[in-house]
Amino acid sequence: MKYVRFEAQGKIAHGVLAGEIIQELAGDFFSHSDLTGNQYKLAEVTLLAPCQPSKAVCVGVNYRDHAAEMKHELPKEPLIFIKPSTALNNPGGEIRYPAISHNVHHEGELAVVIGKTAKHVKAAQATEYILGYTCANDVTARDIQMLDGQWTRGKGFDTFMPLGPWLETELDPHAAAIKCLVNGQIRQSSNTGNLIFRIPELVEFITQVMTLNPGDVILTGTPSGVGPINIGDTVSVVIDGIGELKNTVVAG
């Protein structure tokens, strides 16, 4: 099932997408919610990020090929960091290129959307806490990330976390082709089967430390091929079985 969050006729709503038609839900995806009977055409609404995370827990260096290109050792445990909720961006939204950076990179990633409060969840039970999956771009000011030696500033700019275009509940998250394109040219191409740490293990690792709330996301890491984006570029993250998350880059 595809869940969408959207704006239409001046209001924000949630719905179920089938083909080109959105059936509006009375509530959101996180609680059982009836259809209102209202329908919208996909082309007539503005899609929003499918969830509004209180935090995004992101995994660094979770593909072997990306570890090699960044000259990182393979991690023995997941390396996690947080992107702030204020970095959230919508499908079709503008990524604002900060004036204080000169090397902003795309990082196409599979995002896991948490469906219910998760604390001390074992890997074997992890899927019970996952509502679905969406595309993410872990936009990174690489120069600032390297300068600081830790990642909060380089990855925390407003607009640096596009999510979307919708939440897909039916995906096999360890067998999906993932690509990132800039102006239509393929920059990253891999498969989520190449994750070093798989999703159930990540849920257990993270929830030993912090509670994941409904709508929180786990960004599972990026494959090789990260590189610069510039003002005027269009950047897409495409995951087979989900769809395309497309954003443009504008001056901050």
Binding site for Mg ion (CB under 5 A): 107, 138, 222
Closest CB 105 distance from Mg ion, rounded Å: 9
Closest CB 190 distance from Mg ion, rounded Å: 13
Closest CB 186 distance from Mg ion, rounded Å: 18
Rounded Cα–Cα distance for residues 97 and 174 (Å):
32
- Closer Cβ to Mg ion, 97 or 151, answer by number: 151
**Nearest-CB residue to Mg ion?**
138
Closest CB 113 distance from Mg ion, rounded Å: 17
- Closer Cβ to Mg ion, 134 or 222, answer by number: 222
Six-digit token pair at 46?
């503005």
DSSP letters for 111-159:
EEEE-S-BSS--GGGGGGGEEEEEEEE--EEHHHHHHHSSSHHHH-STT
- Closer Cβ to Mg ion, 17 or 178, answer by number: 178
Q: Identify whether the C-beta of residue 161 lies closer than 8 Å to the C-beta of residue 88.
A: yes
- Candidates 57, 61, 56; CA nearest to 194 is 61
Tell me how many degrees the CA angle 196-213-156 measures, rounded to the nearest 5.
Answer: 65
- Closer Cβ to Mg ion, 138 or 216, answer by number: 138
- Closer Cβ to Mg ion, 25 or 218, answer by number: 218
Strands 234-239 and 130-137: unpaired
Rounded Cα–Cα distance for residues 234 and 153 (Å):
23
Closest CB 138 distance from Mg ion, rounded Å: 3
